[in-house]
C-alpha cells in the first residue's frame, strides 16, 4: 500500500537549493517513502530536540560520493500511531551543525503554535456564540 507524501513549503524550498544530483536522490527517496514510511531511522531523544522524537531521518548524499552522507531528510508519519495517513517531510538539508534538524524543530514548533492558536480562536468563538445565544 502506498502512502501519501507531503512536503512542507519550506521543505520544498530546501530541495530546490540542492544540486541537481542531490535533488534526484531526494526524489528517489520520496518515491521509496511512498512504499515504505518506516525507511528512515527513528530520531533519538537529544536535549533541545525533544520535539523531534516522533520523527524519522534518512541520511543521503550524491550517488557515488565516498564518506559519510552529508545530508538529512527529516520527516514524520502522521498520525504516529496506527495506520499512517501522511508522510510529512519537514526539512531537507545538511547534517553539518545540525542544520536539517534545527529547521525541522523550528517548523514543527511553528505548526504546533498555529494549531494551538486555532484551537484558542475556536474556543473563544464558541464562548462568544454561547453568550450571544443565551
> Is residue 100 situated within a structural domain?
yes
> Is residue 95 situated within a structural domain?
yes
> Is residue 132 situated within a structural domain?
no
> Is residue 133 situated within a structural domain?
no
> Is residue 41 situated within a structural domain?
yes
Which structural domain, as residue segments, surrounds residue 84? 4-109
Q: Tell me if the pTM is above 0.85.
A: no
pLDDT for 80 equals: 63
pLDDT for 81 equals: 67
Read off the pLDDT of each residue in 15-39 and give the average, rounded to a whole number: 95
Q: Per-residue pLDDT tens for 50-85? A: 889 999 999 999 999 999 999 999 999 988 666 778
d(CA 81, CA 43): 15
Q: Per-residue pLDDT tens for 77-108? A: 988 666 778 999 999 999 999 999 999 999 99
> Is residue 121 situated within a structural domain?
no
Provide the number of structural domains found in the chain. 1
Q: What is the DSSP string of 2-67?
A: PPEEEE-HHHHHHHHTS-HHHHHHHHHHHHHHHH-TT-SEEPP--TT-GGGTT-EEEEE-STT--S
> Is residue 48 situated within a structural domain?
yes
- Residue 27: give its domain's CATH number: 3.30.2310.20
> Is residue 11 situated within a structural domain?
yes
pLDDT for 129 equals: 78
Amino acid at each position: 500500500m502506498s502512502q501519501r507524501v507531503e512536503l512542507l513549503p519550506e521543505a520544498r524550498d530546501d530541495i530546490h537549493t540542492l544540486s541537481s544530483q542531490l535533488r534526484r536522490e531526494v526524489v528517489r527517496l520520496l518515491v521509496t517513502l511512498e512504499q515504505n514510511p518506516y525507511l528512515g531511522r527513528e530520531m533519538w531523544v537529544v536535549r533541545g530536540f525533544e520535539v523531534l522524537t516522533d520523527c524519522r531521518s534518512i541520511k543521503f548524499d550524491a550517488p557515488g560520493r565516498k564518506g559519510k552522507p552529508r545530508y538529512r531528510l527529516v520527516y514524520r508519519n502522521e498520525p504516529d500511531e496506527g495506520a499512517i495517513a501522511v508522510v510529512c517531510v519537514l526539512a531537507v538539508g545538511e547534517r553539518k551543525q545540525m542544520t536539517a534538524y534545527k529547521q525541522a524543530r523550528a517548523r514543527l514548533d511553528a505548526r504546533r503554535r498555529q494549531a494551538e492558536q486555532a484551537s484558542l480562536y475556536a474556543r473563544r468563538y464558541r464562548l462568544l456564540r454561547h453568550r450571544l445565544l443565551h
